[in-house]
Amino acid sequence: MKRNTVFFQIIFRVLVPVFIGLLIMEVLTYFHTKKLLTNAEMEKELSIIDEIGTILTLRDESISLLDSYLKNSMEAKTNEIVKYIAGSNHNPITIDLKELQQKLNFIPDIEDIYIIDSAGTVVNTTFKADLNLNFFSFGERHEAMLRKVLKSDEFVAESFAIEAKTKRLKKYSYKATLDNKYIVELGFYSPKADSLIKTVNERLNHIGNKDISLVSVDLFIGPDNPFSLNPSTEISTEHLSVLDEVFSAKTSKIIQSKDNEDLKFRFIYMDRKHTDFYKSSVIRIGINETAYREFLQFELLKSVLLFVFIILIVSIIAYYSIKSILQPIRNLISGVDKITDVDFYERIEVVGKNELTELTKHFNRLLSRIEMRNEEIASLTSNINRINKDLNNAYEIIYNNKQDSIKAEKHILSVRQYALGIQTAVNAPFNAFKEIFPDSFLFLLPKDVVGGDFFWYAKIENNLVFAVADATGHATPGAMISMIGLFGLRNTVEIKGITNPLEIMQNLDKEFAFLLQTENSNSHFYDGLDIGIGTLDLNTGKLLYSGAKQQLYVVSNNIVQNLRGENISIGKFFNDAPKEFKLETCELQNGDYIYLSTNGLPDQYGDFNNTRFTTNRLVKLLTDNSNQSCDDQSFKIKKALRDWKGNEEQVDDILVFGFKFTKNE
């Protein structure tokens, strides 16, 4: 099975694309033939339309000549009738029009006389079917024309029109009697016009018989009530609806016959601009697509048979050609099979002068090199065994050290978790603070399990004392310093009862110096706190503040007030100068926001530009969102930190605290 792989790959990579190309070519040829046939059908239809247009133009010109001839005859006879009525003193209603027809040499079968009164009613006529017919009912336009004739002495002759009852061409003329009380109307059929219409219909039928695919060619006129001048033409309800649509839209439309899927009808609108006979018409061409479909099926069958024949011939030729080409490869594979028994002394016979010959030579050289490498490998194997033994000994030492490291890390983590528990127990719970100011937040994110940033508060009567502090260092060392700060705050405020931020700051500084015993220390390490302490009178809104490298921000109506504090820290540091803390005040209004933050967020580096977040960016973030609830503000701070930091490592503990001030009622 494996030895047929190359053969089938060649078949797949060479012949399959050829077969696909042939298939695509045959498909394109088929669709191209179909397109050519479609274009030929369209050109044939356009030729038919052009021929019909020529026939209609000739017909219209002929009818115009007949119209001019009849107009002169009708005007002369109308004038004689008007004079006869005026001179005879007969009532036009009772006059014998049949007798008058004979007297004036009318042809009774095709020339009729009508007497119309001022109300538009036919009161006397030789065409008894229209007696008492009201011509005003034909529409406002016709009524206006008749009233105009009554008021003037002019002779008015209409162009040939299609009589609704007989579907024959008929010409009408009008003139008022001398007393302007009646209208004399003449209506003449024209045998020549009938003969012309018959000739046109025969010509249209002849066009339909010129091509076996043309079933019928019909002409319809009259957009309001379409009809054909050919009496044998039938109009179904469906076709009548299509005619109305084509007349209205002045466009073309194709429909499929419901009874025969190969029969379709094309309706084509034609505008007649140079005749008064009618202004528009629609040609209906019936086309049988059976011959067209059979020709396409034959072309498709021919393409399929040709494609199968070509594939068969190409496959046979390719099979025997590829088989002869692959014979040297089979010889090469046979030689390789002998080498699989690790007998590198066996060589493959070199045959021919082609690329496979060169491949065989290179393969034999490769075998020689493998033979040499086997000897080298045998030498290296003993050295590798010795090295593996040394590596196993080293691995045991490393594994033992790693186990010791894991135990140490677990111990350190346990210590940190314990320290976190102590720190949480000592620290003031923030849920209790939210009972005082529900609209408040505390965003605390230590760098490690425990950290040196903390928030603390105490309520002494009507005064709320709160503090945000950043101990030197982070993790366990920072937590130890923060514990000293927490105990110092509780001792100063809750036990000694000191609520003035400046006094708290001074007392806290002394306690740090005493507890850490740094007055005579030559240590260069920083031991202390950066802290901001505020005391808020809950009744009056008066805020007292003292800061040690901590700033307090008051946002009122999107305006920021900054209480900066002093640029010194709590505790004793290397080469410390004498410390002087200061007290700042601020009068708060309902709705003002108070914010305190450690330097963790401003000092955080960004992932994309390696720059700090900065205090200015933090202040803008707080100001822009000060119109939202504290919960939303806390979410915005978290999102801003996440977007800024990205994959960058957190550099320090982070704490941001804020609340919305409301006075006690």
Enumerate residues 6+ apart whose C-beta is below 8 A from 98.
Answer: 108, 126
17 vs 352 pLDDT, higher one: 17
Mean per-residue pLDDT, 229-255: 81
Give the model confidence (pLDDT) of 517-569 as tens digits.
644 555 544 578 899 999 999 999 999 999 999 999 999 999 999 999 999 98
Q: What integer pLDDT is reported at residue 543 of this predicted model?
A: 97
Q: What integer pLDDT is reported at residue 572 of this predicted model?
A: 63
- The answer to whether residue 163 scores a pLDDT higher than 60 is yes
286 vs 412 pLDDT, higher one: 286
Give the model confidence (pLDDT) of 429-448 as tens digits.
899 999 999 999 999 999 88
578 vs 195 pLDDT, higher one: 195
For the chain, what is the mean pLDDT? Answer: 80
Buried b (16+ CB within 10 A) or exposed e, 416-430: beebbeebeeebbee
Mean per-residue pLDDT, 309-332: 73
Residue pair 416/449 in contact (Cβ under 8 Å)? The answer is yes
Mean per-residue pLDDT, 9-36: 74
Q: What integer pLDDT is reported at residue 549 of this predicted model?
A: 94
φ/ψ (deg, to 5) at 541: 85, 10
Residue pair 497/472 in contact (Cβ under 8 Å)? The answer is no
- The answer to whether residue 665 scores a pLDDT higher than 70 is no
The closest alpha carbon to 598, from 451, 483, 490, belongs to 451
661 vs 227 pLDDT, higher one: 661
Give the model confidence (pLDDT) of 408-430 as tens digits.
455 445 544 545 455 555 566 89
- The answer to whether residue 312 scores a pLDDT higher than 80 is yes
Q: What integer pLDDT is reported at residue 194 of this predicted model?
A: 78
Q: What integer pLDDT is reported at residue 2 of this predicted model?
A: 47
Q: Specify the 3-state DSSP secondary structure of 155.
A: coil
CA 217 to CA 515: how far, in whole Å?
117
Give the end-to-end CA distance of the chain in Å, rounded to a whole number. Answer: 95
Residue 1's pLDDT band (cuts 50, 70, 90): very low
Q: Which helix (H) or strand (E) holds 509?
A: helix 501-516
Residue pair 521/572 in contact (Cβ under 8 Å)? The answer is yes
644 vs 345 pLDDT, higher one: 644
CA 75 to CA 81: how far, in whole Å?
10
Angle CA(613)–CA(615)–CA(620) in degrees, nearest 5? 90
pTM: 0.41
Lowest mean pLDDT among 84-93, 134-143, 310-319, 523-532: 523-532
Share of the chain above pLDDT 70, in %: 76
Residue pair 601/654 in contact (Cβ under 8 Å)? The answer is yes
Strands (E), 475-558: 529-537, 542-548, 552-556
The closest alpha carbon to 597, from 619, 612, 568, 579, belongs to 619
Share of the chain above pLDDT 90, in %: 32
Q: Which amino acid is it at 14? A: V
Give the model confidence (pLDDT) of 364-399 as tens digits.
777 677 767 766 676 777 777 776 776 677 667 766
Residue 3's pLDDT band (cuts 50, 70, 90): very low
99 vs 12 pLDDT, higher one: 99
Q: Which helix (H) or strand (E) holds 471?
A: strand 463-471
Give the model confidence (pLDDT) of 600-618 as tens digits.
999 999 987 789 999 999 9
- Across the strands, what pairs with 470? 453, 530
What's the per-residue H, E or C state across 166-208? Answer: CCCEEEEEEEECCCCCEEEEEEEECHHHHHHHHHHHHHHHHHH
551 vs 317 pLDDT, higher one: 551
What's the per-residue H, E or C state across 591-618? Answer: CCEEEEECCCCCCCECCCCCCECCHHHH
